[in-house]
């Protein structure tokens, strides 16, 4: 029981899933069922509520197409960022805590070996973060 994340769909409320231009913000694919069983990540010391990338993969692949944009206003350790990279989606996000901004940039760099990230907060020095990265830092 404890080994899995279980995502239960609560209710399909029309107002909650439609945005003004009629596009669907969330598109539930009924064949996916109400309960998703995904193994918990083995490494979850980067963030106290870190989710498995496979969990986010499933939501992203259900609700977006290749090259579409995904917005995560609570990035945390960057699980959605990694999933977007894996699945060919463009990612935009916000994170309040500098330590998590650092972790998600390190995680992205470790996964892609690229640092094509733009930080709007000019106090964030991406190069310094990457240079600071521990040798054994892993991405998943
Ligand atoms: C539940 S965690 C997200 C965990 C993420 N899904 C993952 O797998 O790592 C929520 C994050 O939102 C951030 N947060 C809280 N309030 C915020 C705000 N007003 N703006 C941006 N980020 C915020 C917190 O610092 C925290 O890292």
pLDDT at residue 18 tops 60: no
Closest by alpha carbon to 4, among 58, 61, 55? 55
Q: Residue 10 falls within a domain, yes or no? A: no
* Residue 53 domain flag: yes
Mean pLDDT of 76-99: 94
Whether residue 31 lies inside any domain: the answer is no
**pLDDT tens, residue by residue, 29-87:** 556 666 788 887 766 678 888 889 999 999 999 889 999 999 999 999 999 999 999 99
The CATH number for 64's domain is 3.40.50.150
Distance 28 CA to ligand 1 centre (A): 24
Percent of the chain past pLDDT 90, that is, above it, reads 29
Per-residue tokens: 59? 């939501």
Whether 16 is covered by a domain: the verdict is: no
How many domains are contained in the chain?
1
Query: Is 139's pLDDT higher than 60?
Result: no
Segments forming the whole domain that contains residue 65: 42-131
- What span, in angstroms and rounded, lies between the C-alpha atoms of 80 and 85? 9
| 127 located within any domain | yes
Q: How much is the pLDDT for 94?
A: 94
Residue 27 lies in a domain: no
Q: With bands split at pLDDT 50, 70 and 90, how would you rate the model's confidence at 17?
A: very low
Closest CA to 76 of 112, 107, 122: 107
**Residue 123 counted as domain residue:** yes
Q: 118 lies in a domain?
A: yes
pTM of the model: 0.77
* Pocket residues: Cβ below 6 A from ligand 1: 47, 49-51, 73-74, 76-77, 79, 94-97, 100
The predicted pLDDT at position 6 comes to 56
């Amino acid at each position: 029981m404890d080994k899995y994340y279980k995502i239960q769909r609560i209710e399909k409320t029309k107002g909650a899933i439609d945005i003004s231009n009629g596009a669907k913000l969330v598109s539930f694919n009924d064949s996916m069922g109400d309960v998703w069983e995904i193994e918990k990540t083995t490494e979850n010391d980067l963030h106290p509520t870190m989710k498995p990338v496979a969990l986010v993969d499933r939501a992203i692949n259900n609700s977006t197409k290749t090259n579409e944009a995904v917005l995560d206003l609570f990035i945390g350790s960057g699980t959605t960022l990694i999933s977007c990279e894996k699945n060919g989606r463009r990612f935009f996000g916000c994170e309040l805590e500098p330590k998590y901004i650092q972790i998600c940039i390190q995680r992205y760099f470790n996964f892609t070996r690229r640092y094509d990230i733009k930080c709007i907060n000019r106090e964030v020095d991406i190069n310094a973060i990457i240079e600071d990265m521990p040798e054994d830092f892993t991405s998943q």
